[in-house]
Amino acid sequence: MKRTLLSLLLTSAVSATAFAQQQPQFSHYAFNGMYLNPAYAGIKGQGEITTLGRYQYLGYGGSFDDGGSPQTYALTASMPVAAVGGGVGLSVFRDKIAQASITNVQLSYSKHIKVGEGKLGLGVQGIFNHLSKGLYRAADLRPDSSVPQDGSDRKFDAGVGVWYESDKLYAGLSANNLLRAEYRFKSDGGTKGAKAIGENHAYLTAGYNIEASSSVVVTPTVLVKMVLPGKFGDNNKFNLQNNSYEGGVRATINDKFWGGVGYRYDESITGMLGMSFAKDNALRFGYAFDFIAFNQAARAFSSHEIMLSYRLPKPGLATRPAIRTPRYSF
């Protein structure tokens, strides 16, 4: 039964009308704003490098023994650049599920504006997508022009976002795949009839730091992921059924140790642990475990995720300021 369901999901994922989320998800979303939003680039005033590895639905058996557990690897980096009045960022990920894989590269720029006690980032990004489709077997053995047959395609796209960051609060809204690029693949029928649309995706995220004591900070977080299929003006463009919702809370002790729990609507309950070390707690390591609590018939028991990140020192003055004394006043 599980393999039959996965076959149906994969078939729908390569059709032009598929509404399912096409981009990978991460349980460490609160630590990786650069993946979610181009306006995040450099907003914290220091450089950051983050790597993530995720094995979703560990041990899931796919159709025809071709595998089925999504595996995702990501690298993001951002840094402030005073010369451009903001920051720049890079995001790269590779996502593989059964016979389909995607390699995504994003280059971002964020303009920073002082707003109250924080900064507002206005971001744009250029996106490069490379989609690959392996060998699929349709239920009907006759040639089918809608079934990909070991092909690939690549396209450029774009994204935009806004992000607000202060000591207490962060919040961001972004949208990508604005061009809705169409990818075509060689089909089972021998022509390039198989296709897929890079649908618009949007992310809304927020978090708030609460000082529970002099050494403990409690941070509630939320993430809404939206798939917006079709053209603007279509009746189902903003159908809430295409959204995914996550919420969580973590406690951080002395900016060094943290632990938290999360909930992904209608899918899983997440637990995470992490610690910071090295000078100024610049190096961070985190682990997240997702217990698949809902709809287990078409999923495996658990998902696992590892995060490693490094925060660069905040930039200082390039030269020491002049020391003025009365000795040189005459």
Residue 36: CB partners within 8 Å, gap ≥ 6? 29, 161, 172, 174, 203, 205, 223
Over residues 55-70, mean pLDDT: 70
The distance of Cα 235 from the centroid of its chain, to the nearest Å, equals 27
What is the pLDDT of the chain when averaged over all its residues?
A: 85
Does residue 12 lie within any of the structural domains? no
pLDDT, tens digit, for every residue of 204-242? 999 999 999 999 999 999 999 999 998 888 888 888 888
Does residue 18 lie within any of the structural domains? no
Q: How many CA atoms lie within 13 A of 25 on its CB side?
A: 26
Residue 314: CB partners within 8 Å, gap ≥ 6? 45, 46
Q: The tokens 């914290």 sit on which residue?
A: 44
Does residue 15 lie within any of the structural domains? no
pLDDT, tens digit, for every residue of 87-128? 999 999 999 887 888 999 999 999 999 999 999 999 999 999
d(CA 75, CA 24): 13
Does residue 292 lie within any of the structural domains? yes
Whether residue 327 is predicted with pLDDT greater than 60 in this model: the reply is no
Among residues of the chain, what percentage have pLDDT more than 70? 80
Does residue 162 lie within any of the structural domains? yes
Does residue 3 lie within any of the structural domains? no
Q: How many domains does the chain have?
A: 1
Residue range(s) defining the domain that contains residue 248:
24-136+145-312
Whichever domain contains 88, its CATH number is 2.40.160.40
Does residue 14 lie within any of the structural domains? no
Whether residue 186 is predicted with pLDDT greater than 90 in this model: the reply is no
Among residues of the chain, what percentage have pLDDT more than 90? 61
d(CA 240, CA 230): 14
Does residue 128 lie within any of the structural domains? yes
